[in-house]
Structure 1
Amino acid sequence: MNRVVHPIEQESFRRLRARLDTSHFPPLTRAVVERVIHSAADLDYATDLVTDEGALEKAHAALHAGAPVVVDVEMVAAGITRRETVCRLKDARATPSLTRSAHAVRLAYEQVGPGALWVIGCAPTALEELLTLDAAPALVIGLPVGFVGAAESKAALRESGLPAVSNISEKGGSAVAAAALNALLYHPVSHAQKAPKENS
């Protein structure tokens, strides 16, 4: 089913593109960059975001093939409008050595196993914990926000070599993390992706 785009959203993207040339980005990178900028009304994300088109292509295929989507907080889940998500924060408990957000990541990994898309927009400790697990993610959207640990956790994500969307600065948040995932959800699936592979 095709998504119906509201006229206000159409006009917002028209104005965005009038102020910022995004035509040089490859298709999925452009979709992510534009939707994140749209969610925050912040053009600086065009140079702050770090993405890889090849990783996005694989993540897009995994997402549309039904890979689980895990979020760190309900605010991220609320922003992902066309997909069920896993959030275990309500079940998590803080300990002297583990934040509640980090414990929620452990619980979610026990539930979904490898191959999920992880969307972290609030807690740097959730992202840090994910990096200690053998999660083999399809993609990590790591966009936590804050003055303590956010930039450092995103740098660690980039250094990990995992397929990821991150940003360099301390900014981020639930809305932009959800927007990055929505960009992949809304981007059309090609005929080649839809067609089942025939056995030779």
Structure 2
Amino acid sequence: MDFHTEFKPLTVQPQEIEEKSFEIITEELGAHDYTPEQYKVVQRVIHASADFELGRSLVFHPDAVRAGIEAIRSGKPVIADVQMVQVGISKPRLDKFGSEVRVHISDPDVMQEAKRLNTTRAIIATRKASQEDGAIFAIGNAPTALLELIRLVKEGQARPGLIVGVPVGFVSAAESKDELLKLDIPFITNIGRKGGSPVAVATVNAISLMAEQQE
């Protein structure tokens, strides 16, 4: 075997690579029950993760995509649980509508309060962000952030426009998503332990792209 044979990609054009990837995803995913709008999210999540099982596990509140588009077009902020989510979301598309991504996990007051209460920064950051009525909450890393947001919603202390709750992990990740499924407000989540910042990013980017295309 010649280990020195040069591999040549089919194309090096970003748009062509994405289009070909989407063709492969559509072919390999096969039949599904997602609406056309929901499928745009599923497609980008699979594109970001190369994980068809994860893509098939996505669950949408019936109003989720519409609510997310309306939030972005109304200039509502996207609240990220960690910086990894913040940096991955397309800023230019949000800028068009006066929207932005905010993350409070490293705010000095959040860190100080978390230390004082001996709790996670994710919980305190969520409490701080809960004042943003109508915002999109994009949680890809911290199950404690999602659980705290759910508690605040149940108690009437938070009114998100959309919750993208896809934290990854072995401790409380799946359970937090199960709790999210019980809420009667717009959400996008998935079943099980899988998820992560790239999934949250892909979901928000898919929605912001649809918001942009409505113009």
Shorter-chain-normalised TM-score: which range?
Answer: 0.7 to 0.9
In the alignment, what sits opposite 2:209?
Answer: 186
CA distance in 1, matches of 2:52, 2:143: 23
In the alignment, what sits opposite 1:46?
Answer: 55
SS at match of 1:50: strand
Letter in structure 2 aligned against 1:35? R
Matched residues, number:
187
In the alignment, what sits opposite 1:122?
Answer: 141
Q: Which runs of 5+ in 2 are unaligned?
A: 1-13, 95-99
Task: Check conservation: 1:26, 1:53, Cα contact below 8 A.
Answer: no
CA deviations 1:45-93 (Å, max 9, x no partner) are: 2331111342211221221221111000000011102332010111122
User: How far off its partner does 1:9 sit?
Assistant: 1.2
CA distance in 1, matches of 2:67, 2:125: 26
Q: What does 1:6-45 align with in structure 2 at a 5 Å threshold? A: 6-21=15-30, 24-45=33-54
User: How far off its partner does 1:189 sit?
Assistant: 5.2
SS at match of 1:119: strand
CA deviations 1:86-108 (Å, max 9, x no partner) are: 10111122244531111111122
Letter in structure 2 aligned against 1:46? G
User: How far off its partner does 1:44 sit?
Assistant: 0.9
SS at match of 2:194: coil
CA deviations 1:104-154 (Å, max 9, x no partner) are: 1112224xx211000000000111111122221110000000000100111
Q: Which structure's CA Rg is the greater one?
A: 2
Letter in structure 2 aligned against 1:88? H
| TM-score for the superposition, normalised by structure 1 | 0.85
CA distance in 1, matches of 2:105, 2:199: 19
- Cα distance change, pair 56–33 in 1 and its aligned pair in 2 (3 A): same
SS at match of 1:187: helix
In structure 1, which of residues 51, 66, 71 is the aligned counterpart of residue 75 of structure 2? 66
User: How far off its partner does 1:27 sit?
Assistant: 2.0
Identity of aligned residues (%): 40
Letter in structure 2 aligned against 1:85? V
Q: What does 1:44-193 align with in structure 2 at a 5 Å threshold? A: 44-82=53-91, 83=94, 84-91=100-107, 92-93=110-111, 94-95=114-115, 96-110=117-131, 113-133=132-152, 134-187=157-210
CA distance in 1, matches of 2:150, 2:174: 15
Letter in structure 1 aligned against 2:104? R
